[in-house]
Amino acid sequence: MTIATRPLGRSGLDVTTISFGGAGIGNLYQAVSDEAAHEVLQAAWDAGIRFFDTAPRYGHGLSERRLGDFLRSKPRGSYVLSTKVGRILTPLRGREMGFYGFVDVLPFEQEYDYSYDGILRSHEASLHRLGLDRIDVLYMHDIGVDTHGVEQNAEYFPVAMSGGLKAMQELRASGDVKAIGLGVNEVEVCLQALDHAEIDAFLLAGRFTLLEQEGARPLLEACVARGTSLVIGGVFNSGILATGAVPGAHYNYAEPPAEIVERVNRLERICRSHGVPLAVAAQRFPLSHPAVASVLIGVSSKRNLDRNMAAMDVAIPDALWADLVAEGLLAPDLAPR
């Protein structure tokens, strides 16, 4: 199967419009066997996906190891690989490990380090875990107030911009990586980073979705103006756009407030009236914007991967988007055309 590709900023890289997110194969919330991880990666490859993302955080290195083991047999120029920096993994050696949402992880603790030396160490360590000699795209992971809070981020951010981002620029200039950016859940820190460096791409999770659009508008405009790409993760807002507002649904990893439930119900009603599942519209929506290069799908099973890929073949009538606009659920200028 062939999936369309788009340029990733001005990096010279072309990436598939659907990309594979490696959190699930790092045992996010539930353990996945080596065999199941390989199966879903093979299914992604067979489906035509050639853009793969991982991070040291995912399973404390487990995702990188599994992804590297899979990709090592593939021709190096046949795929694009991204991982992240900003956390150093250190051996436990008797220490108690913190819980970060991953289970049955490797015996390493995570320590934030956005310094110049820390970024270089993180990049080198990822190469060893992956068992590969090159990473194509390097994202600075989880810098910002959402992760660290106001006080802690006030300490981390200057170091990240003056030290860590400088190291990433040098890695790009030397050809060790092709593209640099941020992998975050908030818009403001992306806009701030644009004042410090030429950014190729942002991996932005949960902020440009069928449920949330207006908050991302300044970044969308800035990316178009600067030739920077967006890779959009969290298209289901951590579940509610996949399941609908059913009991137990999650919005941004928590119970959804009443206004979100009401909005999702309205979205689902309109989608249903056109015979389109809500999850299909949610997955397809971000790709309509010119700043978006790829939508990141995080799955840990072949069944879910197959379902996500089938969503790309569903016909979505223009009238669905028009009705969302008429209902005030979608800005007219952001409606797919």
pTM of the model: 0.96
84: domain CATH number is 3.20.20.100
Tell me, what DSSP letter sits at residue 163?
A: I
For the annotated catalytic residues, the residue numbers are: 53, 58, 84
Alpha carbon separation from 10 to 6, 58, 198, 228 (Å, rounded): 11, 28, 10, 7
User: How much is the pLDDT for 98?
Assistant: 84
| pLDDT tens sequence across 155-185 | 999 999 999 999 999 999 999 999 999 999 9
The amino acid sitting at 159 is V
Q: Cα–Cα distance between 120 and 256 in angstroms, integer?
A: 39
Whether the pLDDT of residue 143 is over 80: the answer is yes
pLDDT at 10 over 90: yes
φ and ψ at 296, to 5 degrees?
A: -90, 125
Q: Which residues of 242-251 are buried (b: 16+ CB within 10 A; e: fewer)?
A: bbbbeeebeb
Residue 333 lies inside a defined structural domain of this protein? no
> Alpha carbon of 117 to those of 35, 127, 158: distances in Å?
36, 16, 15
Determine the pLDDT at residue 2. 85
Round to whole Å and give the CA distance between 140 and 138: 7
* Confidence grade of residue 4 (pLDDT, cut at 50, 70, 90): very high
Burial class (CB in 10 A: 0-12, 13-18, 19+), 205: buried
What pLDDT, in 10s, does the model give residues 236-289? 999 999 999 999 999 988 899 999 999 999 999 999 999 999 999 999 999 999
Q: What number of helices (H) and strands (E) belong to the chain?
A: 12, 12
How many other CB atoms sit within 10 Å of the CB of residue 162?
Answer: 13
Q: 1 pLDDT exceeds 80? A: no
269 belongs to a structural domain: no
Give the domain range for residue 15.
5-248+278-312
- Are the C-beta atoms of residues 92 and 108 closer than 8 Å to each other? yes
pLDDT digits (tens, 9 = 90+) for 295-314: 999 999 999 999 999 999 99
The CA radius of gyration of the chain, in Å to the nearest whole number, is: 19
Please give the pLDDT value at position 247: 93
In a domain, 288, yes or no: yes
Task: Give the number of domains in the chain.
Answer: 1
46-82: pLDDT as tens digits? 999 999 999 999 999 999 999 999 999 999 999 999 9
> For residue 199, is it within any domain?
yes
What type of residue sits at position 78? S
Evaluate whether residue 260 is within a structural domain: no
Beta bridge partners of 205: 233
Q: Both tokens of residue 71?
A: 């990709």
Residue 32 resides in a domain:
yes
In a domain, 271, yes or no: no
Bridging pattern class, strands 137-141 and 80-85: parallel
Q: Would you list the DSSP string of 236-286?
A: TGGGHHHH-S-TT--BTTBPPPHHHHHHHHHHHHHHHHTT--HHHHHHHGG
What are the phi and psi torsion angles at 184 (to 5°)? -145, 175
What is the structure's pLDDT at 99? 87
Q: What integer best gives the mean pLDDT of the chain?
A: 97
Per-residue b or e along 53-79, where b marks 16 or more CB atoms closer than 10 Å to that residue's CB: bbbbbbbbbbbbbbbbebbeeeeeeeb
Burial class (CB within 10 angstroms; exposed 0-12, middle 13-18, buried 19+) of 336: middle
| Residue pLDDT, tens place only, 74-119 | 999 999 999 999 999 999 998 988 888 999 999 999 999 999 999 9
Nearest CA among 144, 124, 47 for reference residue 83: 124
In a domain, 169, yes or no: yes
